[in-house]
């Protein structure tokens, strides 16, 4: 696991690259596992670049994660659509995991929409349900604000995470999709699915859905002053609630739900 010598300076430098190549944007959308089809449904790209053109972004290695960022016109505003992400379990540091999101915010994005695939801890919240995140449990053992402190111009290290997920944007999503529910997301290190005992523990801690991403990006975006929205697509019931777990079914569930999910994101982006 490696951390850039100065992750803050690298984020500012790559933010300039992003803005120069794609132009300014109002919002950024990060597409998680199974969400690739949603990105294509948001609109046509006016400009596009490889994420690897940003010095601090390694190529993703997980099936279902692309490696590009596009400028897309949505509701008369430009949105950066980040196709894919990298994860702690791939061996990256927290700074590397959040680098693309930091770049987007530093390039001018006032809102960050984070998407993921998740397992549901509630049997009544089944496959295909969008869960709008109301809060999170960061159980990864990492934090993008650990290590070298941010320069003063980027805000104090000890970010206030009260109300991390925007109530205004959550309401727009819930109004747009009558199947959507709210819930708390537990973010774990990953590398394997959770055990049934771990799922029982997470339920006692207040989690509704569980996954291996999002929590660090949400902290990084909120620290830099962005309005944050998160939504998890339930692609499976968590361990112990169904017989087995398979990453292929995660991608298939995402593909099946793509049209509805695109409509939900459109509504959130239209909230301005």
The answer to pTM > 0.85 is: yes
Residue 44 has a pLDDT of: 87
pLDDT attached to residue 250: 63
Task: Kindly state whether residue 111 falls inside one of the protein's structural domains.
Answer: yes
- Look at residues 189, 269, 191, 200 and name the one whose alpha carbon lies nearest to residue 231: 269
Confidence class of residue 75 from pLDDT cuts 50, 70 and 90? Answer: confident
pLDDT at 247 over 80: no
Burial of residue 188 (CB within 10 Å: 0-12, 13-18, 19+) is: buried
pLDDT at 35: 81
Confidence (pLDDT) at 85: 87
85 is a domain residue: yes
Of residues 160 and 63, the one with the higher pLDDT is 160
pLDDT at residue 249, rounded to an integer: 66
153 inside domain: no
In a domain? residue 65 = yes
What stretches of 152-208 adopt beta strand conformation (E)?
181-188
With a cut of 70, say whether residue 244 has pLDDT above it. no
Judged against a pLDDT cut of 60, whether residue 233 lies above it is answered with yes
Looking at the structure of the chain, the number of domains it has is 1
Residue 187 lies in a domain: yes
Cite the active site residues. Answer: 33, 65, 87, 89-90, 117, 212-213, 236, 247
Distance CA 183, CA 63 (A): 26
Is 180 part of a structural domain of the chain? Answer: yes
**Is the pLDDT score of 64 beyond 90?**
no
Closest by CA position to 263, among listed 226, 231, 218? 231
Tell me what pLDDT residue 245 has: 60
pLDDT at 3: 58
Give 175's pLDDT tier (boundaries 50, 70, 90). very high
Mean pLDDT of 186-207: 95
CATH number at residue 205: 3.40.50.1580
Highest mean pLDDT among 52-66, 83-97, 115-129, 206-220: 206-220
Is position 1 within any domain? no
Establish if 154 belongs to a structural domain.
no
Angstrom distance (rounded) from CA 168 to CA 270? 12
* DSSP helix/strand/coil, 141: coil
- Residue 168 in tokens: 């205004």
Range of the domain at 56: 7-147+159-270
Average pLDDT over every residue of 151-164: 94
pLDDT at 269 over 90: yes
């Amino acid at each position: 696991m490696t951390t850039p010598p100065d992750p803050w300076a690298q984020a500012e430098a790559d933010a300039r690259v992003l803005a120069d190549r794609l132009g300014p944007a109002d919002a950024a959308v990060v597409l998680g596992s199974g969400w690739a089809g949603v990105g294509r449904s948001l609109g046509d790209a006016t400009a596009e670049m490889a994420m690897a053109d940003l010095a601090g972004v390694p190529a993703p290695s997980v099936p279902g994660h692309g490696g590009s960022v596009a400028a897309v016109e949505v509701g008369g505003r430009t949105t950066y659509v980040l196709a894919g992400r990298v994860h702690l379990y791939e061996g990256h540091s927290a700074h590397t995991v959040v680098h693309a999101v930091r770049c987007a915010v530093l390039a001018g994005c006032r809102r960050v929409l984070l998407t993921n695939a998740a397992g549901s801890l509630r049997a009544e919240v089944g496959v295909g349900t969008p869960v709008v995140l109301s809060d999170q449990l960061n159980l990864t053992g990492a934090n993008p604000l650990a290590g070298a402190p941010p320069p003063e111009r980027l805000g104090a290290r000890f970010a206030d995470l009260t109300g991390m997920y925007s109530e205004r944007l959550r309401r727009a999503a819930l109004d747009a999709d009558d199947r959507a529910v709210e819930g708390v997301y537990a973010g774990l290190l990953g590398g394997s699915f959770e055990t049934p005992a771990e799922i029982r523990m997470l339920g006692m801690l207040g989690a509704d859905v569980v996954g291996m991403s999002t929590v660090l990006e949400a902290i990084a975006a909120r620290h830099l002053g962005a309005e944050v929205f998160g939504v998890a697509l339930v692609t499976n019931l968590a361990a112990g609630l169904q017989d087995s777990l398979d990453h292929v079914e995660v991608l298939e569930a995402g593909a099946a739900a793509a049209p509805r999910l695109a409509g939900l994101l459109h509504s959130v982006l239209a909230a301005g």
